[in-house]
Structure 1
Amino acid sequence: MHRERIPVYVVTGFLGSGKSTLLARWLKEAPFTNAALIVNEIGEVGIDHATLGFSGDASMLLAEACVCCSGLPALNEALEQLFWARLYRSVARFETVVIETTGLADPGPLVASLSLNAFVKERYRIAGTFTTIAAPNAPDTLAHFAEARAQLSGADVVIVTKTDLVDAQTLVAVEAQLSVERIGHSANASFGLQDALALLARPAHRIEHALTRPFSRPRSHDAITHFIAIDEAADIEALNTHVQSLIDRYGESLLRLKGLVRLKERASVAVVQFARGDARAHITEGPASAIKSGLTLIVRPGASR
């Protein structure tokens, strides 16, 4: 008997390109409102998983191991667990699966591995890979990071983010460098899911696809993570001072900084975000979370601590 396979969408993009912000919007739009969510993060604490605002109960976090490297078995295991949970109704019936990768992941090994695992291949199918890249530093990112180039190569749709921070001429130059046919623009997560799916459905000529590219594993990335535990901060101003000192200390070696920090005498946390190229950290107040309080830093190897 023919079994309809469950579509899997992969959302990837380099560190700080805004993929989690965009995905947070998409998870509120059909058909992702009725999706199972798998979030992969490098580091001790899954910050993105805690801040996406996903309301479904079919959600899994794969932390500490990148799925394009040593984390592939965990990804296949997660998909198997989700399938059986769906079948036996221990979670709400989902119609799609969304996988958010780390900002350093190459989607090629991930996509290929799903076609090589017999159980997963029989029950799931790759429906598309969306890749985000930030317009302000796209040329520098592509020039210096093989991971970003791999993400671009494996993309079915590329979404250029932070377009409000560049002029029209710069945006045209960025698009020319990308050399892809399906391109969307997003400023402050303005690019909706229906627009993304419409782009995905548009015919395009691909020279090379992630499914056909050779891959090897495990591999390593030119970055390491540190977690700095912070029990609580007196207020956002004091936290901002501490965060800025970290940014100054690491300088160009700091690729990404993010975290959730409890605020003293308040039933809330500070949500901290900083990416390479940002003028300063962005800190907002959010609802209380049971997640470990502190900051995750992703830095180049050899950076002083």
Structure 2
Amino acid sequence: MSDEAAPLPVLLVTGFLGAGKTTLIGRMLDDPAFAGSALLVNEVGEIGIDQELLVRSGSPPPQLLANGCVCCVMNDDLGLALRDLDLRRRDGSIPPFARVIVETTGVADPAPILARFIADGWIQRHFVLSAVITLVDGVLGAETLRSQPEAASQAAHADAILISKADLADVDAIDRLRGLLSATAPHATILVAGSEEAAVGRLLEPFRLLGLRALPQDHGRGHHHGHAHDHALVTTASWRFDDVLPWPVIAGALDDVVTAHRGRLMRIKGLLRVRDADRPVVIDAVQDLFHPPRLLDRWPSDDRSSRIVMISRDTSSEDAMRALRHTLAPMN
């Protein structure tokens, strides 16, 4: 891309662990208005799950920024990834794209990311941060905002906030959450969505507008650019295995692990190859709540191995993964 070309818009999608970022981005990528979007997925840990679920034909393959966090000031992965996307777009090695969507890890503080867009001259010439979209869990959001400084920062820096899973919470709780978010981010547009496809489609309309043009904003004004968290407090454990196990065995082992570490695991997610199923199974848990497992239509790549990732504030993820492997490995 020449220096004279208009900077491409970047949408930053953030939100605490399990708020629904990947679900929203998947629906955005299926929307014709977002055709031709490049996607950068940031995950904490060595194995990425989310980018496998966001492969779309006709768009550049999702690029994973693994085992780190783009919000770390000393981590230049985001800048390098944007440079790599620009280079490969110009040499034709990936399909052309009209915008970039960045999905941050759930424990990312957006402030250093916004600072990078302001301070990096090359990024300023080639990209412009169009909007920060923050997902907030309608069931767990209020408590998460009070107990997790990253979640509060994600809300405070948002241009638009989408309260997800509203159909799982009562109306009064959603109203209280809206009030809390309004106080935290008085400048942000706050939208509410349940799980219904039609409702989410309607709520995507403002995001379509945000994604179709660059909206230069002074994201630095009124924002604190310090780090709101210490990544040493967040640990991840991952396991990849090739053996095919029965779903009841896997489900029982996961239930035992979550029960034994109740209140200490922040997130569990996985993509599993299960006996007696010809399609991959997605598992997803937020804190102590497991979402119903779902079948994908197809494997997103040629990799048919099962993979599980656990995230915790302390070493619970490592302990839990060790227990899970101890239970399942002898069955391989």
**Structure 1 and Structure 2 fold alike (TM over 0.5):** yes
Task: Give the 3 Å change call, closer, same or farther, for CA 284–71 of structure 1 in structure 2.
Answer: farther
Offset of residue 52 of structure 1: 2.1
Alignment partner of 1:300 is 2:313? yes
Instruction: Report the 3-state secondary structure (helix = DSSP H, G, I; strand = E; otherwise coil) of the residue aligned with 2:50.
Output: helix
**What is the aligned partner in structure 2 of residue 151 from structure 1?**
154
**What is the aligned partner in structure 1 of residue 28 from structure 2?**
26
Separation in structure 2 between the aligned mates of residue 231 and residue 260 of structure 1, nearest angstrom = 12
Task: Give the 3 Å change call, closer, same or farther, for CA 108–217 of structure 1 in structure 2.
Answer: closer
What CA deviation, in whole Å up to 9, does each residue of 1:14-65 have, x standing for no partner?
Answer: 0011111111111111332211111101111110011124332253111110
**What is the aligned partner in structure 2 of residue 256 from structure 1?**
267
One-letter code aligned to 1:145: Q
Task: Give the 3 Å change call, closer, same or farther, for CA 176–212 of structure 1 in structure 2.
Answer: closer
Instruction: Report the 3-state secondary structure (helix = DSSP H, G, I; strand = E; otherwise coil) of the residue aligned with 1:251.
Output: coil
What CA deviation, in whole Å up to 9, does each residue of 1:142-167 have, x standing for no partner?
Answer: 11100100100110000000000112
Alignment partner of 1:165 is 2:179? no
Aligned pairs (5 A) from 1:23-172: 23-55=25-57, 56-69=59-72, 72-172=75-175
| Residues 133 and 159 in structure 2, CA contact (< 8 A), matched pair in contact too | yes
Separation in structure 2 between the aligned mates of residue 245 and residue 113 of structure 1, nearest angstrom = 43
Separation in structure 2 between the aligned mates of residue 210 and residue 246 of structure 1, nearest angstrom = 43
Q: 2:200 aligns with which of 191, 203, 206?
A: 191
Identity %: 28
Task: Give the 3 Å change call, closer, same or farther, for CA 200–34 of structure 1 in structure 2.
Answer: closer
Separation in structure 2 between the aligned mates of residue 228 and residue 88 of structure 1, nearest angstrom = 36
Instruction: Report the 3-state secondary structure (helix = DSSP H, G, I; strand = E; otherwise coil) of the residue aligned with 1:46.
Output: coil
Task: Give the 3 Å change call, closer, same or farther, for CA 36–246 of structure 1 in structure 2.
Answer: same
Offset of residue 186 of structure 1: 1.5
CA-atom RMSD in angstroms:
2.5
Task: Give the 3 Å change call, closer, same or farther, for CA 249–281 of structure 1 in structure 2.
Answer: farther
Moved more, 49-58 or 238-247: 49-58
Instruction: Report the 3-state secondary structure (helix = DSSP H, G, I; strand = E; otherwise coil) of the residue aligned with 2:172.
Output: helix
**What is the aligned partner in structure 1 of residue 326 from structure 2?**
none
Instruction: Report the 3-state secondary structure (helix = DSSP H, G, I; strand = E; otherwise coil) of the residue aligned with 2:161.
Output: strand
One-letter code aligned to 2:120: N
TM-score normalized by the length of structure 1: 0.89
TM-score normalized by the length of structure 2: 0.82
| Residues 135 and 161 in structure 2, CA contact (< 8 A), matched pair in contact too | yes
Offset of residue 169 of structure 1: 1.5
**What is the aligned partner in structure 1 of residue 234 from structure 2?**
223
Q: 1:14 aligns with which of 16, 38, 61?
A: 16
Instruction: Report the 3-state secondary structure (helix = DSSP H, G, I; strand = E; otherwise coil) of the residue aligned with 2:200.
Output: coil
| Residues 232 and 264 in structure 1, CA contact (< 8 A), matched pair in contact too | no
Offset of residue 284 of structure 1: 2.1
Separation in structure 2 between the aligned mates of residue 183 and residue 77 of structure 1, nearest angstrom = 32
Moved more, 56-65 or 228-237: 228-237
Instruction: Report the 3-state secondary structure (helix = DSSP H, G, I; strand = E; otherwise coil) of the residue aligned with 1:183.
Output: strand
Task: Give the 3 Å change call, closer, same or farther, for CA 71–162 of structure 1 in structure 2.
Answer: farther
Separation in structure 2 between the aligned mates of residue 156 and residue 46 of structure 1, nearest angstrom = 27
Higher helix share: 2
Separation in structure 2 between the aligned mates of residue 46 and residue 20 of structure 1, nearest angstrom = 12
| Residues 161 and 190 in structure 2, CA contact (< 8 A), matched pair in contact too | yes
Separation in structure 2 between the aligned mates of residue 230 and residue 51 of structure 1, nearest angstrom = 18
| Residues 138 and 166 in structure 2, CA contact (< 8 A), matched pair in contact too | yes
| Residues 273 and 305 in structure 2, CA contact (< 8 A), matched pair in contact too | no
Unaligned 5+ runs, structure 2 = 321-332
| Residues 261 and 293 in structure 1, CA contact (< 8 A), matched pair in contact too | yes
Separation in structure 1 between the aligned mates of residue 273 and residue 133 of structure 2, nearest angstrom = 33
